[in-house]
Amino acid sequence: MKLISWNVNGLRACIKKGFLDFCREADGDVLCLQETKLQEGQVDLAGELPGYRTYWNYADKKGYSGTAVFSKTEPLAVTYGFGEDIHRREGRVITAEYPDFYLVCCYTPNAQRGLTRIDYRMVWEDDFRAYLCELDRTKPVVLCGDLNVAHEEIDLKNPGPNRGNAGFSDQEREKMTALLGSGFVDTFRLLHPEETGAYSWWSYQFHARENNAGWRIDYFIVSQRLAERVKRAEILAQVMGSDHCPVLLEIED
């Protein structure tokens, strides 16, 4: 089974930059999107991507956040958001249940410049980890998306100057460590433990992508008991259309 996750940073803009061509060529069984920046009815892809069932979670705020899941196989069930109402306003989570796992598409809140949203981010992290662990007690979990954290120094080009900044604060990194310590595995590091220069997001400033001065903040994370089924975990850095690139996971059926 081939799964793809991509923060498209505005789906309407990404469509103009080759999104549909990528989808057709990649031919994933499931495609998960973050930061769609849509409201209901603004995009109709039924005729463009035949064979996929589409599921959307929209933010209350127009042009902000949002997630989507496109699946060739109809899930057993689909739920939108999780937990308390405070976590349900920004369209950040879709959970699709398949026969032998839950797929969770997530766009984690950014802590913001100066860590102005770090307090909420910490609440989100604890509540979301509890949600994933609850799912995991029923069946294994595949979590994907823009998790807005570079976990280790190997996961960004310039760790020193960015220490303490949003996405590389000690608090956010510790929460990722806590998640992985709760029975989950970072699939890219499982297969590529020492690979450097592997990034999924680049600033639009300072020719960052041209110079590969990036961050790895887009993940596929799986329950420990799914790790042996992971065949491939890749970062598709050659794919343009957003300031993020897609990431890919293949697992044995």
Q: Which residues are catalytic?
A: 107, 146
Is-contact 185 221, C-beta < 8 A? Answer: yes
Question: What residues form DSSP beta bridges with 2?
Answer: 250
Phi-psi category of residue 145: left, alpha or beta, with phi > 0 → left and psi -120 to 50 → alpha? left
Answer yes or no: are the C-beta atoms of 120 and 148 closer than 8 Å.
Answer: no
Whether the CB-CB separation of 225 and 184 falls below 8 Å is answered with: no
Distance in angstroms (rounded) separating the CA atoms of residues 62 and 131:
27
Residue 174 DSSP class: H
Q: What's the CA gap between 115 and 152, in Å, rounded? A: 19
Q: How many whole angstroms separate alpha carbon 68 and alpha carbon 31?
A: 8
Which residue has 């976590």 as its token pair?
Answer: 87
Give the 3-state secondary structure of residue 28: coil
**d(C-alpha 35, C-alpha 63), whole Å:** 9
Select from 195, 228, 192 the least CA-distant residue to 212.
195
Contact assessment for residue 93 and residue 115, using Cβ atoms and an 8 Å cutoff = no
Q: Residues in the chain, how many?
A: 253
